[in-house]
Amino acid sequence: MNLSNLTPAAGSVRTRKRIGRGSGSGMGGTATRGHKGAKSRSGYSRQVGFEGGQMPLQRRLPKFGFKNINRVEYKAINLETLQALADSKKLTKIGLQELRDAGYINKSALVKVLGKGTLTTKLEVEANAFSKSAEEAIVAAGGKVVKI
């Protein structure tokens, strides 16, 4: 075996189609584009959503709803999550940084603490918003609520 007798595996290399190079090539004439129509013309590129002249889907459907530009999106964290975090990490103060480190929120998230679950540990909780039930539960457990 030497460099002069190396060949690629059978069927792995195919010759390139030479389109529009005369009738002898088998791909002359229409150059594999069929007869007439937009797709056979040079410079053709289909518009996004074009359905062959039929009324496109995005124009057939009615417009509805609106996006409130003043909406504030909060990441919900429940009391049971705070309790689990306090138990596993032995924390007395839970803020945004602790929640980020634990992987519950990303760096730009606003946090709202909700009242699902029970809180048995005395915690100082720091967040952007609190539900009434969550606030009451934290204070009842001897903790402190800090709104950012």
Domains of the chain in sequence order:
18-65 (no CATH), 74-147 (3.100.10.10)
- pTM exceeds 0.85 for this model: no
Each residue's pLDDT, cut to its tens digit, for the chain (148 residues) gives: 899 999 999 999 999 999 999 999 999 999 999 999 989 999 999 999 999 899 999 999 999 999 999 999 999 999 999 999 999 988 899 999 999 999 999 999 999 999 999 999 999 999 999 999 999 999 999 999 999 9
Whether the CB-CB separation of 86 and 93 falls below 8 Å is answered with no
120: left (phi over 0), alpha (psi -120 to 50) or beta: alpha
Sequence-separated (6 or more) residues with CB below 8 Å from residue 9:
none
Whether the CB-CB separation of 19 and 31 falls below 8 Å is answered with yes
